[in-house]
């Protein structure tokens, strides 16, 4: 772990067929998809991209804030192209439909609550789930 004589990326991000494919497939999807879902979707449209590359690309997109990552209850991560502004999600447990919600209320509450306990450098996770109007019909 002293130097990088092997091939540690130095910061250049190349454009490849695979990265483009993953990005646009994710954009077209609109909702949340797991890496596996995305891989299948790509395969269906004839784009051959290795699952490892799908994971790598998603991780990269997530680190730049281009996609949102959600850790589902079953432990699998799902991704979605997402506005970069801080916000939370309202997800339908039935059909997966997702709405973005912003909340100065929670933001303030979370911060206040944390400071009250002497915590600093506060972050938070808020997820709301329910059954959407369509699925209630």
Partner DNA sequence: TCTGAACATGAGAATCAGTATCAACTAGCG
Partner DNA sequence: CGCTAGTTGATACTGATTCTCATGTTCAGA
Query: Residue from 52, 95, 101, 108 that binds Zn ion (CB under 5 A)?
Result: 95
Residue with tokens 């400071």: 115
Q: Does 95 bind a second copy (CB under 8 A)?
A: no
Backbone angles phi, psi at 69, to 5 degrees: -115, 135
Residue with tokens 């910061």: 11
Beta bridge partners of 80: 68
- Here the contacts of 82-88 (C-beta below 8 Å, separation 24 or greater) are 88/126, 88/127, 88/128
- Per CB under 8 A, the segment of 4-12, 13-21, 43-51, 101-109 that binds a second copy is 101-109
Q: Which residues bind a second copy (CB under 8 A)?
A: 71, 73, 75, 77, 90, 92-93, 99, 101, 103, 105-106, 109-110, 113-114, 117-133, 136
Q: Which residues bind DNA (CB under 7 A)?
A: 7-19, 34-36, 48-53, 55-57, 59, 75-77
């Amino acid at each position: 772990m002293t130097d990088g004589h092997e091939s540690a990326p130095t910061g250049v991000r190349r454009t490849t067929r695979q990265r483009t494919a993953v990005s646009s497939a994710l954009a077209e999807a609109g909702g949340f998809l797991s890496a596996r879902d995305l891989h299948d979707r790509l395969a269906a449209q004839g784009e051959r991209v290795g699952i490892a590359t799908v994971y790598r690309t998603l991780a990269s997109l997530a680190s730049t804030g281009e996609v949102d990552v959600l850790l589902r209850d079953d432990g699998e991560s799902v991704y979605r192209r997402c506005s970069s502004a801080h916000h939370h999600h309202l997800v339908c447990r039935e059909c997966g439909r997702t709405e973005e919600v912003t909340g100065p209320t929670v933001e303030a509450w979370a911060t206040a609550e944390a400071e009250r306990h002497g915590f600093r450098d506060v972050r938070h996770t808020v997820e709301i789930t329910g059954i959407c109007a369509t699925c209630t019909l």
